[in-house]
Amino acid sequence: MDLKLKIWRQADANAEGKFVTYPVHNISQDASFLEMLDVLNEELVTNGKEPVAFDHDCREGICGMCSLFINGRPHGPDDSVTTCQLHMRKFKDGETVVIEPWRAKPFPVIKDLKVDRSPFDEIIRSGGYVSVNTGGVPDANTIPINKENADLAMDAAACIGCGACVAACKNASAMLFVSAKVSQLALLPQGKVEAKRRVESMVAKMDDLGFGNCTNTYACEAECPKDISVANIARMNREFLCAKVT
Amino acid sequence: MTKLDSKIPEGPLAEKWTNFKAHQNLVNPANKRKIDIIVVGTGLAGGSAAASLSELGFNVKVFCIQDSPRRAHSIAAQGGINAAKNYPNDGDSVYRLFYDTVKGGDYRAREANVYRLAEVSNNIIDQCVAQGVPFAREYGGMLDNRSFGGALVSRTFYARGQTGQQLLLGAYGALSKEIKKGSVKMYTRREMMDVVLKDGKARGILVRNLVTGKLERYGAHAVLLASGGYGNVFFLSTNAMNSNASAAWKAYKRGAFFGHPSFVQIHPTCIPVHGNYQSKLTLMSESLRNDGRIWVPKKKEDAQKIQKGELSPVNIPEEDRDYYLERRYPAFGNLVPRDVASRAAKERCDEGYGVGNTGLAVYLDFKDAINRLGKSVIEARYGNLFQMYDKIVDENPYETPMMIYPAIHYTMGGIWVDYELQSTIPGLFVGGEANFSDHGANRLGASALMQGLSDGYFVLPYTMQNYLADQINVPHLDTDSPEFEKSEKYVQGNLDKLLAIKGSKTVDSFHRKVGLIMWDYVGMGRSKEGLEKAIEDLKSLRKDFWSNVNIPGDNTGMNVELEKAVRVSDFIELGELMARDALSRNESCGGHFREEYQTEEGEAMRDDENFMFVSAWEYKGVDEEPVLHKEPLNYENIEVKQRNYKTA
Amino acid sequence: MSVKYSSITKKIWMSLMGLFLMVFLVVHLSINLLLLVDPSRELYNTAAHFMGTNPFIQTFQWVLFLGFTIHIILGFVLQIQNWIARPKGYKIKAKSEESFFSKYMIHTGIIILIFLGIHFVNFFFRVKIFHTVPDYILNGVNTGMEDMGIVVVKLFQSPSYVIGYVIALIILGFHLDHGFQSAWQSIGVNNSKYTPFIKGFGHLYAIFIPLGYIAIPLVIYLTT
């Protein structure tokens, strides 16, 4: 299949960016979206031009490195996948595909389609863990955990930190990301110990970094490649409310 | 020939580690603050080691090539992590895990290391649960286990199909905690370009900032490499696109010996290759073999019809299906170790019984399991894997059998290390997949996660102290010192040389070529002629690369092609070493299968008399032949026998 | 305010005030409907008089004002912060929104705010400040109460006012449709057991409350 790509090109963080149009030809329907970009890049390099920079790594939908806002949707026109798992059979021959970087104040563009997502790390650093050191912990089966909660915790823990929730949200809010970690740990007895401190400092950090406010639009849930539920956001709100009033 | 000192502690096997810890040197708390440690890589081994070392009070500088420490490739491990907890009461023990691992590795791993690994495996599970890793649980609230290849007990702990992710996020949490505390300094989007030595000891690294393109210098009292494996030398592998051998390769070039370079693991359950634009292969967790049955058609004509798309596998009657693993290995059946399963698939396909349009695939069928357990049970166990398969192949595995084919997945080889995980360069430690230890010639499923975390949480924090205890009065290495100057000049020179070529071929085209050579001659089946050809081909490919590669742009700012070029140039050199190693080992063992050395039934034939040693290669210069050093392997606690998965 | 309070604190206040205002809408509607129940306006005027003079209600009125004020100010603050959070937008607008009306809360909110202003001028200020409401004469006797009913009936004889009123109420419905379930989510009530009910009830609320309001001008316009 042949496609017309409109890709955001930006030399570095301080440069002015612009859209550049590239045609690509003879793309297989079975290729992944990133493999299609590989083909384009190979062609660009062969012609001595700078290839399009985009983040990617595992190419199996788990590392959270790939991003891309494709035709108005983070990770493109398929549900519950990352861009690396998006296949060209989801596109029509001759289609124009607009590829943009994630857009949010806390996620500045580094180059072309790569953005800086380190604010997510900063949020986790502010408390997204259980403060135990190596060694000196009890036997793993000492604390029975109800299966339902363990499963809910796993649902939340599936977050890959890709930032699609922020990219999709009309307010560039990071609530789904933050709430996934808060929820995972709030649901488990190990995490309950410092639950109050955790939710307060993570939310404060999220606000400081300049993410927008949640308006319960649920675009985040719709676009999350790991189907993280907005019930986690409610759980975080609840945790936060309890932390504030107690 | 230098004698390699493996520094295995004295005493009975079960007491070696305890003895070591009881008598090792420690650094007093006040002095730990004065010591800097560099950690390269933030996967399970690097992340957990960095966090644990920082908890002890050391200053740790951590480097990773990704934008966040959470993205290291450990994250992609699916199936689980082994531990000798014996929670299911099915007869497991530390000894049995040790035994299975040594046997699974085809008796090419060091006994003492493997025993220690089995010993600390239980601590890992405790640690991870305390961190809030959401392992699967039973209704009673206790941890659930599943079984994996190469074992007769259920000892694998798992978190759905995302065990690696959850364990890595646990380590990442611990690391984040220490970063907040201030004793870990995190450097992301940095690639190690060189190890800096002073007086023969590893004292720092030179890194390239992947955003600015600038070279940066960092000094320390010890360096830990946890930079992962080198499966991407095959171009197509299940490794992440950015996984590379460069950090380990630079260490090798600075004097660290490379152990067992040719021992790579070919994973039997990957989604088959479907096109030449393909950039990587996707693994389907080995846990699928718990319930899936592997088969190919019994009749060649059926296979041919399937290849042409004229016949559907669902229309092949039961009696015309060859469940070849169950046929050949009645005791272990579909759960034989990975190398055995992979080779058996290759054997069937080479004989013309393969399926799929390339003929390079076999079926993994869940029909019986669905009939026995119901679709909902299968969905609960493997739903995410089935969905992943459907997304990639566009076929519903609940209705038609999955197609799988072996792919490069893991490298058992790596930098040679002694019992303390220290390389032949004093002060340079190596952990996780980057080192050669523990797995011998083949790794069992769910053991990589165990090894990474064992090294990081429970081994390196002890053994590194043993080294650092007498480094407390050593001053910080000045980054303006001549050692750094020299290193930077060398690295800069190399980068300039690469950028100046401006040839006509892309970096990827070279990567594909090295991958094809490796897959054809240094892959699942190896022969003397093939390996010799590979060495020659790689030599000429190296020449071609250094005269014809085209890297657009310059060294100011981000240059992805330059990053890749550095890695590919290292892969070409590494490939040659792998071929040499495979050529020198005139036997078949584990993942290393020399076609000349097989039984009449096509099973691997080991030569314990002549090859029961670790191959450790010493670098002598880019156009010089490396020197082979041998570390003899002594099995005092285990009876060495031909692996047998036909009877229990 | 934006500096001092966290995003979730603001959201919680926003939703508590929203829920409070929704209760007020029900009370207001039940009084308005008295106009349809009793065309003589006696019930309506009595109720209006009670609301306008009862000391408790009069005090509570200030709480209501405060509720409105907090809800409105927070709405603007949150929205401005949200705009700042994405200084450069997308070329292709996001296509993934789930709760459609949530995208237009600021727009529907501003229209409702304007309507509220007009409403104040037409009713509240007339009775409280300008004192231009005639007394209510029942059977030739001056009851001493203001005839709020006649003010309403007269206004609802103007077709343009009725159209404007109907449009404003439809927009209020949009605002409520998202606001109702959103408020519960913000205070942390989201559970597979209750949420479908909350969402369903919210849709019904957002349809029937505005319909109830709209029924009054339509009936009055068509019958007088």
ipTM given for this complex: 0.98
- Is pLDDT above 90 for A138? yes
Asked, for residue C1, whether it belongs to a domain, the answer is no
DSSP-assigned letters across all residues of chain A:
--EEEEEEE-SSTTSPPEEEEEEE----TTSBHHHHHHHHHHHHHHTTPPPPP----SSSS-S-----EETTEET-SSSS--GGG-BGGGS-TT-EEEEE----TTS-EEETTEE--HHHHHHHHTT-S----SS----TTSS---HHHHHHHHHHHT-----HHHHHSTT---HHHHHHHHHHHHSSHHHHTTHHHHHHHHHHHHHHTT-----S--HHHHH-TT---THHHHHHHHHHHHHHH-
As a whole number of angstroms, the distance between CA B369 and CA B294 comes to 12
As a whole number of angstroms, the distance between CA B347 and CA B602 comes to 9
- Poorest-pLDDT segment among B50-59, B483-492, C90-99: C90-99
C84 contacts on A by Cβ (under 8 Å): 105, 210, 212
Task: Return the CATH number at C48.
Answer: 1.20.1300.10
User: What is the distance, to the nearest Å, from the Cα of residue A22 to the centroid of all Cα atoms in its chain?
Assistant: 26
Among B417, B406, B173, B643, smallest CA distance to A129 is for: B173
- Is pLDDT above 90 for B338? no
Asked, for residue A36, whether it belongs to a domain, the answer is yes
DSSP-assigned letters across all residues of B465-520:
HHHHGGGTTSPPPPTTSHHHHHHHHHHHHHHHHHHHH--SB-HHHHHHHHHHHHHH
- Is pLDDT above 90 for B501? yes
Per the CB < 8 A criterion, the answer to whether A179 and A139 are in contact is no
Asked, for residue C41, whether it belongs to a domain, the answer is yes
Asked, for residue C94, whether it belongs to a domain, the answer is no
- Is pLDDT above 70 for A114? yes
- Is pLDDT above 90 for B366? yes
User: A42 CA to chain C: closest CA distance, Å?
Assistant: 26
Block residue for tokens 């992440």: B240
Where in the sequence is the domain holding A70, given as residue range(s)? 3-110
Pairing of strands B613-618, B428-430: unpaired
pLDDT of residue B648: 60
Helical residues (DSSP H) of B254-286, grouped into ranges: none
C10 contacts on A by Cβ (under 8 Å): 213
Total domains, chain C: 1
Per the CB < 8 A criterion, the answer to whether C47 and C31 are in contact is yes
Among A165, A170, A167, smallest CA distance to A233 is for: A165
Q: For chain B, which chains pass the contact test of at least 3 CB pairs under 8 Å? A: A
Asked, for residue C189, whether it belongs to a domain, the answer is yes
Task: Find the helix or strand (DSSP H, E) in which B363 lies.
Answer: strand B362-365
Does chain B touch chain C (at least 3 C-beta pairs within 8 Å)?
Answer: no
* Spatial CB neighbours of B97, under 8 Å, sequence gap ≥ 6: B82, B83, B84, B118, B121, B155
Asked, for residue A138, whether it belongs to a domain, the answer is no
Query: Residue C170 to residues B409, C21, C155: CA-CA distances in angstroms?
Result: 60, 17, 19
pLDDT of residue C97: 65
Asked, for residue A91, whether it belongs to a domain, the answer is yes
User: A240 CA to chain C: closest CA distance, Å?
Assistant: 8
Q: What CATH number labels B482-606?
A: 1.20.58.100
Hey, are the CB atoms on C185 and A234 less than 8 Å from each other? yes
Block residue for tokens 């419905």: C173
Q: Is C117 exposed, middle or buried (0-12, 13-18, 19+ CB in 10 A)?
A: exposed
Asked, for residue C138, whether it belongs to a domain, the answer is yes
Please report the number of interchain residue pairs, chain A to chain C, with beta-carbon separation below 8 angstroms: 143
Per the CB < 8 A criterion, the answer to whether B223 and B393 are in contact is no
- Poorest-pLDDT segment among B12-21, B430-439, C140-149: C140-149
Question: For the domain with range B269-407, which CATH number is right: 3.90.700.10, 2.60.40.10, 3.65.10.10, 3.40.50.2300?
Answer: 3.90.700.10
Q: For chain A, which chains pass the contact test of at least 3 CB pairs under 8 Å? A: B, C
- Mean pLDDT, to the nearest integer, of B621-632? 95
Please report the number of interchain residue pairs, chain A to chain B, with beta-carbon separation below 8 angstroms: 222
Hey, are the CB atoms on B66 and A140 less than 8 Å from each other? no
Q: What global pTM score does this model have?
A: 0.95
As a whole number of angstroms, the distance between CA C9 and CA B640 comes to 67
Furthest CA-CA distance within chain C: 68
Encode pLDDT of B282-296 as tens digits: 988 888 998 999 999
- Is pLDDT above 90 for B616? yes
Pick B461 or C96 by higher pLDDT.
B461
Among B78, B296, C90, smallest CA distance to A101 is for: C90
- Is pLDDT above 70 for C1? no
User: A6 CA to chain C: closest CA distance, Å?
Assistant: 10
Among B248, B223, B256, smallest CA distance to B50 is for: B223
Among A180, A186, A185, A187, smallest CA distance to A148 is for: A187
Residues A45 and A94 in one domain: yes
- Mean pLDDT, to the nearest integer, of B70-87? 95
- Mean pLDDT, to the nearest integer, of C150-160? 93
Block residue for tokens 């310059």: B554
Total domains, chain A: 2
What band does B2 get if pLDDT is binned at 50, 70 and 90?
Answer: low
Asked, for residue A198, whether it belongs to a domain, the answer is yes
Interface of C with A in 182-201 (CB under 8 A): 182, 184-192, 195
Asked, for residue C142, whether it belongs to a domain, the answer is yes
Residue A111 at interface with chain B, using a CB cutoff of 8 Å: yes
Q: With both helix axes pointing from N to C terminus, report the angle between B111-130 and B94-104 in degrees, rounded to the nearest 10.
A: 120
Residues A58 and A172 in one domain: no
Encode pLDDT of A4-48 as tens digits: 999 999 999 999 999 999 999 999 999 999 999 999 999 999 999
Asked, for residue A136, whether it belongs to a domain, the answer is no
Residues A179 and A214 in one domain: yes
Residues A206 and A181 in one domain: yes
Q: With both helix axes pointing from N to C terminus, report the angle between C7-32 and C159-186 in degrees, rounded to the nearest 10.
A: 140
Residues A75 and A165 in one domain: no
- Poorest-pLDDT segment among A25-39, B68-82, B333-347: B333-347
Beta strands in B184-241 (DSSP E): 184-187, 190-198, 201-209, 215-219, 222-225
Task: Return the CATH number at A234.
Answer: 1.10.1060.10
A100 contacts on C by Cβ (under 8 Å): 90-92
Where in the sequence is the domain holding C204, given as residue range(s)? 7-85+99-223
> What's the CATH fold of domain B35-266+410-471?
FAD/NAD(P)-binding domain (3.50.50)
As a whole number of angstroms, the distance between CA A33 and CA A73 comes to 14
Query: Residue B438 to residues B118, B413, B435: CA-CA distances in angstroms?
Result: 10, 10, 9
Residue ranges of domains in chain B:
35-266+410-471, 269-407, 482-606
As a whole number of angstroms, the distance between CA C165 and CA C174 comes to 14
pLDDT of residue B274: 83
Encode pLDDT of B145-173 as tens digits: 988 877 889 999 999 889 999 999 999 99
Block residue for tokens 């997502």: A117
Hey, are the CB atoms on A216 and C92 less than 8 Å from each other? no
Residues A167 and A103 in one domain: no
Q: Is B266 helix (H, G, I), strand (E, B) or coil?
A: strand
- Closest partner residue to B508 (CB to CB) among A42, A65, A139 is A42
Cα separation of the two ends of chain A? 60
Q: For chain C, which chains pass the contact test of at least 3 CB pairs under 8 Å? A: A
Residues A225 and A209 in one domain: yes
As a whole number of angstroms, the distance between CA B130 and CA A19 comes to 49
As a whole number of angstroms, the distance between CA C199 and CA C178 comes to 9
Block residue for tokens 């300008």: C130
Residue A15 at interface with chain C, using a CB cutoff of 8 Å: no
Interface test with C, best of A18, A155, A237 (most C CBs within 10 A): A237
Task: Find the helix or strand (DSSP H, E) in which B411 lies.
Answer: strand B402-411
Task: Find the helix or strand (DSSP H, E) in which C32 lies.
Answer: helix C7-32
- Is pLDDT above 80 for B647? no
pLDDT of residue C2: 42
- Mean pLDDT, to the nearest integer, of C167-191? 95
Residue A19 at interface with chain B, using a CB cutoff of 8 Å: no
Does chain A touch chain C (at least 3 C-beta pairs within 8 Å)?
Answer: yes
- Mean pLDDT, to the nearest integer, of B240-261? 98
Task: Return the CATH number at A39.
Answer: 3.10.20.30
Residue B75 at interface with chain A, using a CB cutoff of 8 Å: yes
Encode pLDDT of A44-101 as tens digits: 999 999 999 999 999 999 999 999 999 999 999 999 999 999 999 999 999 999 999 9
Mean of the per-residue pLDDT values for chain A? 96
pLDDT of residue B1: 47
- Mean pLDDT, to the nearest integer, of C174-178? 96
Asked, for residue C132, whether it belongs to a domain, the answer is yes
